[in-house]
Amino acid sequence: MTSRAFSVAPDGRRYPLPDEALGASEARSLQEWAARLARPVVVVQGVGFVGAAMAVAAAAARDGAGRPRYSVIGVDLPSASSFWKPCRANEGVPPVETTDAELARAHRDAVLGEGNLRFSWVEDAYALAEIVVVDVNLDVVKRGDGAPDVDLRPFERAIRAVGRRMRPDALVLVESTVPPGTCARVVGPALREELQHRGVATHAGIPYLAHSYERVMPGPGYFGSITRMWRVYAANTAAAADRAARFLSDVIDTERYPLARLQDTTSSELAKVLENSYRTVNIALVHEWTRLAERAGVDLFAVVEAIRMRKGTHDNLRYPGFGVGGYCLTKDALLADWAARRDYGMPGGLEMAAQAVRINDAMPAHTFAHLKSLLGSLRGRRVALLGVSYLAGVADTRATPSALLTELVEEEGGAVLACDPLVTRWDERPDIPVYRSPYDAPAPFDAAVFAVPHAEFRSIDPDALVRHAAGPLAVVDAQRVLGDAHLDRYRQLGCPTRAVGRGNVR
């Protein structure tokens, strides 16, 4: 007798992986469900941080009479690592951790109320779709020589899965962030080949293909970052662009957040990576000046705030910090750099954008240098790391700067006590337990690094924290989590203290 394989959700619930018979039953069930609701079907491929929210947003779209416009299916792979997502989502719980009550409510209403949102794993879903929205991740490998590498094959396999089943008149709308030229060079040809292999004729000989990148921000405004956010889009034909505009206008409040239409899909793809590269370079610039300000004894936060008074040109200058995390800013500039080298004949690539990523990746080492300056040797020392997610108010740990700091502490013989009020499991470091607060840590600690400005960490009482220390507590504020009053109190309590970007804190 063979043991059954399971997919385990972050909350520990176990879902048995499906077999072929269950897949056939699921395909029939989807067909019957779509026929019963008799609405246009939207299928979202990939239910990660973008796809999960996009599926809910499409399901929440209403016509003039207040009825749902679409029946929506979110599709994810039936792998051990991800099959729990459609299972959990069909129970009325978003498949991604969120603090956004609006998203959680809209998801629950669509799944358990209106019943126009389902999640599945079978490719047969694509055959039902009038619109397929592609939200599949595309990762970058950061090689030791500094040159990025991108493997498009998993992404292309996902596109071919759509092509094997899709209707010839369906619109394929790519939201994934991809290297400029991917829709024209990879997506369009792959769809055409799959359709031709099936002997299916398409409109004008090519599939309807569009690109429109998202600006999703996990956190309290997660749902609104889809439905109340400007969008850029483009398509391979005027007809496809018009269809994309109609769909986006159903989902997004385009009266207040109008769409911007570009000439072709490569323009839209380039816009996304340029937009995020701009922000990446902005952050890297401030990271460089952080080191100068600290040596000069200057509070760079005050300096930036003074500069930001110049509205219209300088009011988006970033602040010093712990580093950059998340899925976009840590890689998007490298997607463009890779395409520039490989596809567009630029041997040097996008040097400034790529260098900015490297500067930002290394920034947690700056916080670590402060920690070492206070503790000296870290061997045998315990460090309370206050913040595991990459951003305040979210539970997302992808590419979190806390990972590098943890590695550096461990390499020096120290141990990290990870604390985060939102993260229940650190997927990238499952060997490290995560405590809700430093008060829950199982042992006293020698240092506290305030890495993420969660509201719970801003309000920590210095006197109470010091009582949990193993001795004189070293305090490093990496992200302006602490106000002046708290910093003053730590110093009054005899705590050696440093603050990233605030050279006046000693």
Q: Give the pLDDT confidence of 348-397 residue by residue, as tens digits.
A: 999 999 999 999 999 999 999 999 999 999 999 999 999 999 999 888 89
Tell me what pLDDT residue 98 has. 85
Please, which residues have CB within 8 angstroms of residue 287's CB and are 6 or more apart in sequence? 320, 321, 359, 360, 363, 366
Tell me what pLDDT residue 10 has. 78
Specify the 3-state DSSP secondary structure of 8. Answer: strand
Q: Give the pLDDT confidence of 288-303 residue by residue, as tens digits.
A: 999 999 999 999 999 9
CATH topology of domain 289-499: Rossmann fold (3.40.50)
Confidence of residue 427 (pLDDT cuts 50, 70, 90): confident
CA 485 – CA 459 distance, rounded (Å):
11
Tell me what pLDDT residue 224 has. 95
pLDDT, average across residues 44-63: 96
CA 277 – CA 331 distance, rounded (Å):
9
pLDDT of residue 82 exceeding 90: no
Token pair belonging to 479: 């992200």
Tell me what pLDDT residue 146 has. 62
The count of other CB atoms within 10 Å of the CB of residue 303 is 15
Write down the domain spans for the chain: 6-266, 289-499
Tell me what pLDDT residue 1 has. 37
pLDDT, average across residues 425-436: 93
Number of H helices and E strands in the chain, helices first, is 17, 18
Please, which residues have CB within 8 angstroms of residue 240's CB and are 6 or more apart in sequence? 171, 208, 209, 210
pLDDT, average across residues 462-469: 95
Tell me what pLDDT residue 157 has. 97
- ∠ CA 422-428-432, nearest 5°, is 70
Q: Give the pLDDT confidence of 107-140 residue by residue, as tens digits.
A: 999 999 999 999 999 999 999 999 999 999 998 9
Q: Compute the mean pLDDT over every residue in the chain, rounded to the nearest whole number.
A: 94
CA 246 – CA 210 distance, rounded (Å):
12
Backbone angles phi, psi at 432, to 5 degrees: -110, 115
Could you tell me which residues are beta bridge partners of residue 208?
171
Tell me what pLDDT residue 145 has. 63
* One-letter amino acid of 124: D
Confidence of residue 506 (pLDDT cuts 50, 70, 90): confident
Confidence of residue 147 (pLDDT cuts 50, 70, 90): confident
Tell me what pLDDT residue 141 has. 87
Crossing angle of the two packed helices 300-307 and 265-296, in degrees rounded to 10: 130
pLDDT of residue 193 exceeding 80: yes
Q: Give the pLDDT confidence of 15-33 residue by residue, as tens digits.
A: 999 988 999 999 999 999 9
pLDDT, average across residues 60-74: 97
Tell me what pLDDT residue 2 has. 47
Report which of 373, 504, 362 is spatially closest to residue 449, judged by C-alpha positions. Answer: 373
Report which of 136, 151, 10, 160 is spatially closest to residue 81, judged by C-alpha positions. Answer: 10
The two domains 6-266 and 289-499 share their CATH topology (first three levels equal): yes
Tell me what pLDDT residue 323 has. 95
CA 395 – CA 23 distance, rounded (Å):
32
Please, which residues have CB within 8 angstroms of residue 237's CB and are 6 or more apart in sequence? 204, 206, 208
pLDDT of residue 265 exceeding 70: yes
The count of other CB atoms within 10 Å of the CB of residue 104 is 17
CATH architecture of 6-266: 3-Layer(aba) Sandwich (3.40)
Token pair belonging to 369: 């240098």
Rounded-to-5 percentages of helix, strand, coil across the chain: 40, 15, 40
pLDDT, average across residues 150-158: 96
The CB-side HSE value for 495 (13 A sphere, CA atoms) comes to 31
pTM attached to this predicted model: 0.93
